[in-house]
Amino acid sequence: MHHNISIRPAALTDVPTIHEIYSFHVQHGLASWELTPPSLTELQTRMRNLLEQGYPYFVAEIDGCVAGYAYAGAYRTRPGYRYTVENSIYVHPHYQRRGLARLLLVELIEACEALGYRQMIAVIGDSGNRPSIKLHQELGFVHIGTLPSIGFKHGRWLDCVLMQRPLGDGDQRLPDDSDI
């Protein structure tokens, strides 16, 4: 059955569906290490902050319904990290394994390159998350390291997998102030 899949910039009107998707992952998954889903208002604030700082934020729609979302944000807030972003991708459980995460991540990489960012970091919750690790590998991310047992959720210790991908010229040339 063919479905119409599209990627578009996210808007504050998407937050109720984003809240539903994220709440599921907080309660049942390991991608987020929050333990209690944030409120709708909190997610609106988070989105607004990212958009006001110029970071890309996208939703994937299937037949007009938001089925997943992705955004980039600061990897760290100190100014020395200003050319590096961290990605976040969440797909509604009913729409997983349909290639939405790949489409979202490709769009995110392209947008971050166009904005002048030089490195993208994936912070993957749990070394057992093979689908996410494989997707990132396929899109040019390299495994940088694993932080063993630094998280605790759902009654068990969790590893954190760090993956990295250069954007644009990466570290092959120095940035100038016009890049970001």
Would you state the pLDDT for residue 178?
67
Domain residue ranges in the chain: 5-166
> How high is the mean pLDDT in each 10-residue block of the chain (180 residues)?
83 97 94 94 97 97 94 96 96 90 97 97 90 95 96 94 96 81
* Closest to 59 measured CA to CA, from 114, 110, 101, 111: 101
CATH superfamily membership of 5-166: Gcn5-related N-acetyltransferase (GNAT) (3.40.630.30)
Q: Provide DSSP, the chain.
A: ----EEEEE--GGGHHHHHHHHHHHHHH-SS---SSPPPHHHHHHHHHHHHHTT--EEEEEETTEEEEEEEEEESSSSGGGTTEEEEEEEE-GGGTTSSHHHHHHHHHHHHHHHTT--EEEEEEE-TT-HHHHHHHHHTT-EEEEEEEEEEEETTEEEEEEEEEEE-TTTTSS---TT--
pLDDT of residue 175: 87
pLDDT of residue 31: 87
User: So what's the pLDDT on residue 128?
Assistant: 81
